Amino acid sequence: MVDIVVSLNALQNQAESLAAAVDFPCCILLWGDMGVGKTTFSKAFIRSLLKDNKTEVPSPTFTLVQTYQTDKGEIWHSDLYRLKSAEEILELGLLEALKTSICLIEWPDRLQNYLPNRRIDVYLSVIDEYHRSLRIEEKI
């Protein structure tokens, strides 16, 4: 797959397009440095499935997980940045959620040996203040 350069608005549009295309259950791993737009992508994805652009979608940086109920099923939005070990994932219930929900996971490197084989990887990197490089790869 080829990286594309997108504006921040186009990044949100890409998230909405992906939300329309995925089926439950599904794991979406968001790769990229801090401030690259992982949460922006997640918010647009979640709001699209909620069919509500005004719903507050806070970053789960401190709560680790936020859940949302949609017509299609439950969404788990996780930010694993603060995890000290991969075993903490078991305490969160994330492995069970991977079997039943859409899981958007920021900082997926923290999953270590728990990385699911079947997933969608979203790679983001900063081009400049207004543009990002985006690549989406599905692994089956």
pLDDT, tens digit (0-9, with 9 covering 90-100), for 42-89? 999 999 999 988 888 988 988 999 999 998 899 999 999 999 888 888
Per-residue model confidence as pLDDT tens digits over 24-39: 999 999 999 999 999 9
Residue type, 68: Y
**pTM score, whole prediction:** 0.94
Q: Does position 2 have pLDDT exceeding 80, yes or no?
A: no
pLDDT over 90 at 110, yes or no: yes
Whole-angstrom CA distances from 59 to 69, 103, 116, 124, 138 are 17, 14, 23, 17, 24
Backbone angles phi, psi at 110, to 5 degrees: -70, -15
What residues contact residue 9 under an 8 Å CB cut-off, 6+ apart? none
Class of domain 4-139: alpha beta
Pairing type for strands 74-79 and 131-139 reads: unpaired
- The position carrying tokens 């017509």 is 71
Backbone angles phi, psi at 106, to 5 degrees: -90, 145
